[in-house]
Amino acid sequence: MRVFFVVTPGVGHAFPLVPLAWAFRAAGHDVLVATGRTRPSWSTTSQTIAVTNAGLPVVDISPQFDQPGFWQPIVAQIAKDSPELADQIAGMRGGKINDLRLAAAFLSKMSGFLADGALEVAHDWQPDLVVQSAGQGAGLVVAAKLGIPVVEHGLGFSRSTGMHELHRKHMADVFDRHGLLELPEHRVILDVAPPSMLSDGTEGWPMRYVPYNGGGILPNWLAARPERPRVGVTLGTVALGGDSVTALERIIQAAAGVDAEFVLATGDGDLSALGTLPDNVRAGGWLSLNALLPTCSALVHHGGSGTTLTALEAGVPQLTLPGGADRHINAAAVQERGAGLIAEPESVDTALIERVLHDDAMHAAAVEIRSEIHGMPSPSAIADRFVRGDL
């Protein structure tokens, strides 16, 4: 079997799909990843290199994304060409959209940057199955054109039901250009969200979330058991500046009063603006979260789906400071399940961190969710279903 992954540019979109791609490869099947070359502003490593480092072949299908801060000029172009999307763009940036289906027109525009390139590669490679990242519509175009099934790989707690139809509506020009009238006949959604955290139940097929955050040489201190509670701090694969610096300043100020070790997993970003760090705060640089979190008693983060699910898989309570995109959706799911709290950066203080660090009920909920995740069907089991033709 040949499996073609179409992934929205951005490391946070690519990493969650790696375990499923590995599952297909381990079973002897061919995998090809199509995405953009984009690199985050804190690193010289592009997304294509990050995927290649996972042992997967990758093709660049959208040169527009080959620059740091690529979203800004592209979003600006979309806003100029489609002024009617101004509210959706503002909502995505400000976290005011609590359902990504409300941003379907904007996401469809983004998908349009990948569709033609993805289809050109797929025409030559001739896959048997398409897997697309959440919110992506280019995979639908490829699957419809080749007459093969398409799989939507869940990203977090945002829902996908109805998104395919919305992509068909808002990508009508792309579908028409390639002579396509209908969506692919066989479509499957893979839901990586723990069922107990979903009010409306699982979408499609449930699949265990297996964290992948890249490889690397771990520092010796990470292998040793911490002498006191450890709190991880990350703001995800985004540029370190502006609001993120303000949030880190508040976290560090509060950390000074907490009897715990804090590890800043902030990539290679410049921390000089933060001044001298307190003795209990360590700059960890780039660390794989799935290696850091098992040593932690709490995590403070931005609400990204990969970070949220990695913390849940590790059974670690969370303090979330959500920004735009789907982050408020993820943060709300965690708080409603009792595994963490939501806060604005300006409200972060010692007492708030102490609560997440020592609240027995939060820790119990996080451990329950970890057990639930571990009981979900593995990526290997899901790959087997597709190989058997169980659609």
pLDDT tens digit sequence for 92-128: 555 555 666 777 887 888 888 899 999 999 999 999 9
Q: How far apart are CA 387 and CA 16, in angstroms?
A: 21
Q: How far apart are CA 125 and CA 2, in angstroms?
A: 8
Q: Please report, rounded to a whole number, the percentage of residues in the chain having pLDDT higher than 90.
A: 57
Interval 186-206 mean pLDDT: 93
Question: What is the pTM assigned to this prediction?
Answer: 0.89
Task: List Cα–Cα distances, 223 to 16, 281, 294, 315, 370, in angstroms.
Answer: 24, 18, 11, 18, 22
Three-state DSSP state, 249: helix
Q: How far apart are CA 259 and CA 319, in angstroms?
A: 17
Q: What is the pLDDT of residues 8-25, one digit of tens each?
A: 887 888 899 999 999 999
Q: Work out the pLDDT band at 327, boundaries 50, 70, 90.
A: confident
pLDDT at 340: 97
Q: What is the pLDDT of residues 271-306, one digit of tens each?
A: 777 788 999 999 888 888 999 999 999 999 989 899
Task: Tell the residue number behind the tokens 């992954």, with chain if given.
Answer: 5
pLDDT at 84: 64
* Distance, CA of 100 to chain centre: 14
Which of these ranges, 72-76, 166-170, 195-199, 208-212, has the smallest mean pLDDT?
72-76
Q: Work out the pLDDT band at 168, boundaries 50, 70, 90.
A: very high
pLDDT at 129: 98
CATH topology for 2-209+376-387 is Rossmann fold (3.40.50)
Q: What are the domain boundaries of the chain?
A: 2-209+376-387, 220-374
Asked whether the predicted pLDDT for residue 72 surpasses 80, the reply is no
pLDDT at 43: 45
Q: Work out the pLDDT band at 317, boundaries 50, 70, 90.
A: very high
Asked whether the predicted pLDDT for residue 207 surpasses 60, the reply is yes
Task: List Cα–Cα distances, 367 to 75, 228, 317, in angstroms.
Answer: 39, 20, 9
Largest separation between any pair of C-alpha atoms in the chain:
63
Contacts of 355 (CB under 8 A, 6+ apart): 341
Asked whether the predicted pLDDT for residue 41 surpasses 50, the reply is no
Q: Where are the beta strands (DSSP E) in the chain?
A: 2-6, 30-35, 58-60, 129-133, 150-153, 187-191, 205-206, 230-233, 261-264, 281-283, 298-301, 318-320, 340-342
Q: How far apart are CA 166 and CA 129, in angstroms?
A: 21
Q: How far apart are CA 262 and CA 259, in angstroms?
A: 10
Interval 231-247 mean pLDDT: 71
Burial state string for 111-120 with b = 16 or more CB within 10 A and e = fewer than 16: bbbbbebbbe
Domains 2-209+376-387 and 220-374 share a fold: yes
Asked whether the predicted pLDDT for residue 51 surpasses 90, the reply is no
Task: List Cα–Cα distances, 324 to 230, 243, 301, 303, 304, in angstroms.
Answer: 27, 12, 13, 9, 9
Q: Work out the pLDDT band at 2, boundaries 50, 70, 90.
A: very high
Beta carbons of 75 and 92 less than 8 angstroms apart:
no
Which carries the bigger pLDDT value, residue 254 or residue 246? Answer: 254
pLDDT at 326: 79
Q: What crossing angle do the helices spanning 350-358 and 243-255 adopt, rounded to 10°?
A: 70
Asked whether the predicted pLDDT for residue 42 surpasses 50, the reply is no
pLDDT at 74: 59
Architecture of the domain defined by 220-374: 3-Layer(aba) Sandwich (3.40)
Q: φ, ψ for residue 182 (rounded to 5)?
A: -125, 165
Strand partners of residue 337: none
Beta carbons of 45 and 216 less than 8 angstroms apart:
no
Q: How far apart are CA 307 and CA 211, in angstroms?
A: 9
